[in-house]
Structure 1
Amino acid sequence: MSETPLGGPALPQERKVVTAIPGPKSQEMLARKNAAVAAGVGVALPVSIVAAGGGVMVDVDGNSFIDLGSGIAVTGVGNAAPKVVEAVTNQVQQFTHTCFTVTPYDGYVKVAEKLNELTPGDFEKRSALFNSGAEALENAVKIARHYTKRNAIVVFDHAYHGRTNLTMGMTAKNMPYKDGFGPFAPEVYRVPTSYPFRDGLTGAEAAEVAITQIEKQVGAANLAAVIIEPIQGEGGFIAPAEGFLPAIQKWATENKVVFVLDEVQTGFARTGDLFAANHEGVVPDLVTTAKGIAGGLPLSAVTGRAEIMDSAHAGGLGGTYAGSPISCAAALATIETYETENLTQRAREIGAIIEEFFTELQKTDSRIGDIRGRGAMQAIELVETGSKTPAAALTGAVAKQAGDQGVILLTCGTYGNVIRFLPPLSISDELLRDGLQVVADALAAN
């Protein structure tokens, strides 16, 4: 099989299983992991990866896996995109660190300029860089509170925003993210979202429910920010009904509440637009980004209206590694790759293949309750036959069998019954279809 243009390492683009999963060498690594790494750090597929690129990952035993997870939507340009490798190599040879808040450097400023240019909204913007999605969300809340002089924030059912104390409080799902880790930060309020498969509401109707609850239980005058994922990630790849996001944004603007879009998982071509907000022309006051921003290196950002971003005092934002020069070099090369390789179009092509495949399969398997998503961010929600009862055990069994057959597959959802598809945008059609067929075979066998 041929490699894709973004293939990185010279790896055959094929699925190949030569041992039981995990193989003997992976088992040796896992034994070391269990002896050295905290038990709370779990793994989805117990294999030891030694190389990756294009649409495959190769383990220490020589098994080649089709990657349908992209490290949870991180490696959109592939695991070793040539421009990213070159940019990182060049930067490492110059310097690895200075701390931007001690002695600044050009790469950080260039990333901020690019984010200000590309993110939704035709107004003056500022950006601040951080390390992870959760850190970006924490800082978005800090900025919104400082700007509005209010304390309360609103988040939504099924939301996922991170694993820090504040973002755990903002996250809906208890297990494994919150259980036993409280108490959590105060002044976080949760309201219903739009979940078309389960609530049956239009976007306007769902927004009215949410807004009524905000007004009655929180009060607009107390509210600093409304924070929402344009398509929910860990919560189940829930795309809200058309009109929901614009209605929430309109209410926030009218009530001088900062409207924050969490585009950590949806950002950077993943949904077939550079940002998911563009689908309905939603313009956030602040937007958080991470994951796909830097080709696998740790980087995140808060970008937004200049008057809001500039409200925090000097020294109020930052961090030792925030906006690492190596990550900034990777980000500039990654963004260039999205643009020059037209990866937004590639995401739409991938999404069409996934949607068509499962729409056809759904005709003969009613356990596929819903097929949803946008671009290369797609999911199927599995249910018990003839109902909408979540089929969590089936979902886990399908993911396990897929892994045994050489396909890296991620699950999600509040009810544990959603299979999500996040292939790297460097994957070939042939490899993608092979991976989807493995999933179909696993469904048939269970």
Structure 2
Amino acid sequence: MRQRTRHAAGSLACCAALLGPAVATAAAAPGHDPARGTLPAGDGWASAAGGTTGGAAAGRDDVRTVRTWDGFRAALAAGGGGPRIIRVVGTIDANAAGCASFEAPGYDFATYLADYDPAVWGYDTPVSGPQEDARAASAANQAAAIKAYVPSDTTIVGVGRNAGITGASLQIKDADNVIVRNLTVESPLDCFPQWDPTDGERGAWNSEYDAAVVHNSTHVWLDHNTFTDGRHPDSSLPRYYGELYQQHDGELDVVRGADLVTVSWNVFEEHGKTMLIGNSDSAGDTDRGRLRVTLHHNLFRGVGERAPRVRFGRVDAYNNHYVVTGTADESYAYSFGIGFESRLVAEKNSFRLPAGIGPGRILKKWSEAPVTAVRNHVNGVPTDLVAAHNAANPDTPLQCGAGWTPELRTRVDHPRAVPGVVRARAGAGRLR
């Protein structure tokens, strides 16, 4: 029977107030075989209401080792719906045949560029016509080939230090009780971004395919993974019509009614729009009261924004380490996005900011919503992030006090210790 965990109500008096004493007990060690590991009790939102065990109870016939993309998707689809374990050996590539293999008849990128050049098409009307139709058909071919749907009661675990998936989009959709651990996941490249001349003053290229997405799923634990743009950082992408030919979407999104998710000991690196929790202000019917996510002991290195951006959810972000490598005018926009009806608690995180970027940039206000941000360190100095934001942005001040106190925590480190602890232990290949 799933046990529900109560959370304290009531707003904190002010942003400078300290939260109650944090639980400092060590997380229970997983079993000797990481594939049989389960989320320790009290370890974030995914431990509530019965916890998260993934495929730990799988029988021998429901444990599969895969080395290819086709084998991986076959393992996800196999079986009678009971618990399963999928062990990934080496790096499997969902796009080994290349983008040309997805092209629909009649699609030609050079013709696409000529047809929709703003000098010809303008900026007032969305693109349409034969080349846009062929692009959309090509995109549908890619989507069918690179998406992998993860069913309930599943554990996916990388074997050893060098296991990973490239060119794919992991879809944890309409599922319950899923664990993903010890994988290096290289963000897929959208082979067919759409040009939208009406997006902003100069238009924009818009892409699809998150590296992983949790969609209307519950009890999901993502642990000791590395999410990266890898061989294809944004800096390597070309420009057309004067705009970046953006071929990346998010690294990890939690959306559309997803709930009870723990994201721990991962690395998110070298990416632009990294993580959404809630993807629309109009999704209250599905998201209100859900999108409860815990983020702890993750490394966010060289990411531009959305680390995360939150709508609706009660999100507990503690003991994460943020290393900002971009500039204020280019690749770095913000870390925490305060969105519609969000209730973010950000405590005991560590930030390393370069010269020219002040702590007032760490929080970004998108909508009127209260936030608790206490006991955080910036460049080793205790910093009130809400006060820093409000001083830098007096016309858009943030409210303090998210109105709830997280209780589902195991290991909690002092923010001075966070950089060393996280650098040493987060990411794929470091699962103990």
Q: TM-score, normalised by structure 1?
A: 0.24
Higher helix share: 1
Higher strand share: 2
Which fold has the larger relative contact order, with Cα–Cα distance below 8 Å and residues 6 or more apart in sequence? 1
